[in-house]
């Protein structure tokens, strides 16, 4: 256990203080219960990641590729979605191998920033705003994906951006892209 390895110094390590539930459970209830806890946390993290990967690959396939290439067969779209699923799965795996974050929660939070900002406009706003247009949704997705990747790099790898700035830049930028490109699409009559 981490407590056996680090001793009393465990709770002086910044990452352990941020995520001390596992070691505390091991100390309080023993190994069998703490093992179940760790398995549950890991399962929740992986299922959340899997859901995000499937939503991203499905949305890109249906909302971007199918719009740009409507002549593609369902079989081709399915193969594209599968390829994108593998691609989006490799992004966090590569990141964890090259520079693992202190907590898995950082990866999950980073993905949630991008997904939340993108899908707020492309789903929620599209339902209520009659001026919504496919160009706005596409621009919002491209900007949101770019900011999620850049934010992950600048927040975690270089530690140059604070969390709040990254979220606001992504959210406001997605909105600007969505509304401006929706207006452009409407003016062009596409």
Q: Which residue has the higher pLDDT, 154 or 52?
A: 52
pTM of the model: 0.57
Is the four-CA dihedral 136, 141, 146, 147 of positive or negative sign? positive
Any residues with CB less than 8 A from the CB of 6 and at least 6 apart, and which?
13, 16
Average pLDDT, the chain: 82
Cβ–Cβ under 8 Å, residues 13 and 6: yes
25 HSE (CA, 13 A, CB side): 15
User: Which pLDDT score, from 0 to 100, does residue 50 have?
Assistant: 87
Q: Are 56 and 149 in contact (CB under 8 A)?
A: no
Q: How far is CA 91 from the centre of its chain?
A: 10
| CA 52/CA 110 separation, integer angstroms | 11
Q: How confident is the model at residue 76 (pLDDT cuts 50, 70, 90)?
A: very high
């Amino acid at each position: 256990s981490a407590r056996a390895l680090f001793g009393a110094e465990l709770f002086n390590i910044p990452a352990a203080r941020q995520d001390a539930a596992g070691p505390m459970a091991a100390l309080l209830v023993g190994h069998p219960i703490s093992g179940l806890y760790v398995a549950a946390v890991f399962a929740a993290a992986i299922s959340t990641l899997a859901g995000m990967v499937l939503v991203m690959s499905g949305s890109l396939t249906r909302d971007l590729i199918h719009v740009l290439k409507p002549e593609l067969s369902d079989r081709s779209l399915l193969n594209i979605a599968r390829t994108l699923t593998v691609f989006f799965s490799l992004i966090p795996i590569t990141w964890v191998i090259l520079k693992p974050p202190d907590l898995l929660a950082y990866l999950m939070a980073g993905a949630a920033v991008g997904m939340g900002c993108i899908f707020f406009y492309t789903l929620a706003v599209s339902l209520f705003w009659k001026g919504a247009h496919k160009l706005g949704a596409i621009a919002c997705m491209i900007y949101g994906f770019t900011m999620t990747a850049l934010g992950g790099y600048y927040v975690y790898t270089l530690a140059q951006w604070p969390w709040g700035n990254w979220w606001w830049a992504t959210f406001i930028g997605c909105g600007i892209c969505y509304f401006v490109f929706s207006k452009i699409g409407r003016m062009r009559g596409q």
